[in-house]
Amino acid sequence: MVTCYLGLGSNLGNKKKNILLAVKYLQKSKGIKVEKVSRLYENPPCGCPAGSPDFLNGAAKIRTSFAPLALLKELKNIETCLGRKRAKRFSPRTIDIDILFYANKKVTLPNLKIPHPRLKMRDFVLAPLKEVSPEIIKKLASEVKIIKDIPAMRAFLAHARSKNMSIGFVPTMGYLHEGHLSLIRRGKKENVICVVSIFVNPLQFGPEEDFKKYPRDIERDSIKAQSAGCDVIFAPEAKQMYPNSFFTYVDVEKLTGTLCGVSRPGHFKGVATVVNKLFNIIQPSVAYFGQKDYQQALVIKTMARNLNMPLKISVMPTIRETDGLAMSSRNTYLNPAERAQAAVLYQSLGQARKKILSGEKSSKKVISGIRKVILNKKPAGIDYIAVVDADTLENKDMIQGKSLIALAVWFGKTRLIDNILV
């Protein structure tokens, strides 16, 4: 008998019942002994078409006497018994049972790959797997180097620099999602080394903001970052980044006095300062930012140009959930009702884009259209909706040239931002 880990999922019919029945079938199987089953987690559908129902997911630790292919066959039998119809990929299913690990074995067959090739980038696998085997999660997390110390980080990259290797850099505050991973994948594709920083920067949070409750999970982040191609994580302590005698700040004027800068005074000063410090420590060839935080990316681009920083800033498209909500670590704060409401942000921007493409030029009309669509969902409040010049962030009365439509809206106690370029 060998130890094996399974992922269980259902998004059709009575999901909980389906998974519990699957566990019963596993227990009844002659070649399987179920040792541990995780709690069940509700998850948004991943890779499925828009409108697909949410999944319920769990993980199980089993002992089995089946060889890998025989185990696969047994699991498929159980899926069939539970009414799984093999329709198109990503279509809803009563039950899905995946082999995540089979002892320490690596299997690469056309119909079976073990360890499961996508498990590291999937929260719906990692969270229940951690419950049945914290050791596996620890081991996976240890596969990427984490450096906390500034001199050690410099020393690690000195070798790469001496060999003229290009360094891609993705600064983040962690709790990584597909948006971050898209930057890391690009960073690795375009460079020899990809460095990811994870630092919840106290300097960019206001006194009433969510610094303390910002989600943090370095183990989970390490696994996900590595799966996307990260070679090393820089995760400094605040004490080292901001020692007692810290008196120097970077303030990018003008661009920061509008949009998010109005309701978050000091935020961009905190961002520019930390990014400047990180650039000095890592000295990357290219740094990657997301369009989701358009104003931030523009501030950083301007800082790098104004201060003659020898690197390229690359801005990547916003990655969205299937219903259009821009991915954000802060989405984890939303309760199910707020999460459903929040999809309205991108819907309202999409409708605005359509209006503009069919000839609307008045910013006032576009903004009031967006406001109407959003208010329909009764959010807790609208911070701003603005149409601005994409380079200067100055308000525009008429939509001509490259324009940014940006908004910030409160759902419960969570403030979400989004934007589109037109």
Contact positions vs ligand AMP (CB under 6 A): 172-173, 179-180, 182-183, 289-290, 292-293, 316, 318-319, 326-329
Q: Which is nearer to ligand AMP, 43 or 204 (CB)?
A: 204
CB of 101 to ligand AMP, least distance (A): 29
DSSP 94-163: S-EEEEEEETT--EEETTEEES-TTGGG-HHHHHHHHHH-HHHHHHHHTTSEEE--HHHHHHHHHHHHHT
- DSSP per-residue letters across 9-48: EE-SSSHHHHHHHHHHHHHH-TTEEEEEEPPPEEE--SSP
Quote the least distance from Cβ 339 to ligand AMP, whole Å: 15
48 vs 417 by CB, closer to ligand AMP: 417
User: Can you say whether the dihedral through the CA atoms of 158, 160, 161, 166 is positive or negative?
Assistant: negative
Q: How far is CA 330 from CA 173, 175, 216, in A?
A: 11, 9, 11
Write the single-letter amino acid at 44. Answer: P
Q: How far apart are CA 379 and CA 194, in angstroms?
A: 39
Taking the least distance from each CB to ligand AMP, the nearer of 64 and 172 is 172
- Letter for the amino acid at 229? G
State in angstroms the smallest separation of the CB of 419 from ligand AMP. 11
Give whichever of 231 and 293 is closer to ligand AMP, judged by the CB atom. Answer: 293
Query: CB-wise, 252 or 326, nearer to ligand AMP?
Result: 326
Min dist. Cβ of residue 58 to ligand AMP (A)? 27
Q: Are strands 312-316 and 381-389 parallel, antiparallel or unpaired?
A: unpaired
CB closer to ligand AMP, 191 vs 328: 328
Give the sign of the dihedral formed by CA 281, CA 282, CA 288, CA 290: negative
Q: Smallest distance, Å, CB 330 to ligand AMP?
A: 8
For the chain, how many residues are written?
Answer: 422
Nearest to ligand AMP of 19, 316 (CB atom)? 316
Residue 368: which H helix or E strand, with range?
helix 363-375
For this structure, is 180 an active site residue? Answer: yes
Compute the distance between CA of residue 94 and CA of residue 315 in angstroms, rounded to an integer.
Answer: 40
Q: How far is the CB of 321 from ligand AMP (least distance, A)?
A: 9
Q: Looking up tokens 């810290």, which residue turns up? A: 246
Beta carbons of 7 and 116 less than 8 angstroms apart? yes
Given the residues 116, 159, 177, 180, the one annotated as active site: 180
3-state percent breakdown (helix, strand, coil) of the chain, nearest 5: 40, 25, 35
Q: How far is the CB of 342 from ligand AMP (least distance, A)?
A: 13
Closest CA to 349 of 373, 315, 330, 376: 373
Give the nearest distance from C-beta 259 to ligand AMP in angstroms: 14
C-beta of residue 421 within 8 angstroms of C-beta of residue 403: yes
Task: Name residues whose C-beta falls within 8 Å of residue 20's C-beta, 6 or more positions apart in sequence.
Answer: none
Sheet with 381-389: strands ordered across = 381-389, 403-411, 414-421
Rank residues 95 and 274 by Cβ distance to ligand AMP and give the closer one: 274
Q: Which are the catalytic amino acids? A: 180
